[in-house]
Amino acid sequence: MTLLQTTLGPIGIVQQGAGGVPLLFLHGVGSDRHAWDGQVAHFGQSRHTFAIDFPGYGDSGFIEGATRVTFAEAALATLDALGIERAHVCGLSLGGVIAIAMHALAPGRIASLVLADTFAVHPEGRAIYDRSLAGAASLGMSGLAETRAGALLAEPADPAIRAGVIETMSRIDPAAYGIAAEAVWLADQRAEARAIAVPTLILYGSEDRITPPALSEELKTLIPHAGLVEITGAGHLPNLEQPRIFDRVVEAFLSDLD
């Protein structure tokens, strides 16, 4: 099954495994559910693991006027459609922002949070948002992807990973991209982050230039009980750049909870 019908419309999904506390992966603004294929295959060996497309991305239906809260509601609607009461939630960049929003909406449904290369508020968020929309308008999504890929990955970047990042970003609907860019770059969820009470792990790539390590450290000050782990040799996409390390760190975190 690659399409799930929910109360907020169709949601693109990839899933594997059964049993245990389910694990949901949420993608970034320039990506889709397939960014997590490696993690779904890995964690799906021991638990129900799934990744979804945000509204307007991949196979998910577009929602006119969607917001950060809409994206969080769509993720929660996915849990409903799957009959899942509580899940671990791992989000990267935009996905981490939405994971925090999910907790704010329904804290009892979140077993734990893994917040990768994300933030509560980005000091350059407005400028990044403006540049993103201007780039998409002037270059198209393919051109924007070509110019953006270098900043996303640590150097020297694996050519295959870089090509995959460009191909995925090129496919994104520009209207959906604009909505998602607003959801992530204009977020200010400092109050929501302070309210997080579930077990939380903060991860970041040592070479991340999009959300520099200082933003993960700031997130840690807002969530004092959270763990903080640096993944050396990764940029903004550590699950793709250093997947074995990423998976091992997340697995160790979850093993202490199950």
Looking at residue 135, which CATH number applies to its domain? 3.40.50.1820
- The 10 Å Cβ neighbour count of residue 246 is 26
Give the whole-angstrom CA distance, residue 107 versus residue 192: 11
Rounded average pLDDT over 201-215: 97
pLDDT band at 229 (very low <50, low <70, confident <90, very high): very high
Show the tokens assigned to 129: 């948002």
Report the number of distinct structural domains present in the chain: 1
pLDDT band at 1 (very low <50, low <70, confident <90, very high): low
Q: Residue range 126-138: average pLDDT?
A: 96
Mean pLDDT of 47-71: 97
Respond yes or no on whether the N-terminal peptide bond of residue 212 is cis (omega within 30° of 0). Answer: no
137: part of which helix (H) or strand (E)? helix 125-152
Summarised one tens digit per residue, pLDDT across range 101-116 is 999 999 999 999 999 9
Distance of CA 176 to the CA centre of its chain: 15
Rounded CA separation 31/20 (Å)? 27
The CA distance from 49 to 24, in Å, is 6
Q: Name the band, by pLDDT with cuts 50, 70 and 90, for residue 258.
A: confident
Looking at residues 80-94, what average pLDDT do you find? 98
Beta-bridge mates of residue 231: 205
Report, as an integer, the average pLDDT of 220-245: 97
Measured distance CA(184)–CA(54) in Å, rounded: 12
What is the rounded average pLDDT of the residues 136-143? 96
Confidence of residue 256 (pLDDT cuts 50, 70, 90): confident
- Report residue 100 CA to chain centroid gap: 11
Beta-strand pair 49-52/87-92? unpaired
| Three-state SS sequence of 227-243 | EEEEECCCCCCHHHHCH
- The predicted model scores a pTM of 0.97
Average pLDDT over residues 40-59: 97
pLDDT tens figures, 157-179: 999 999 999 999 999 999 999 99
Range of the domain at 248: 3-255
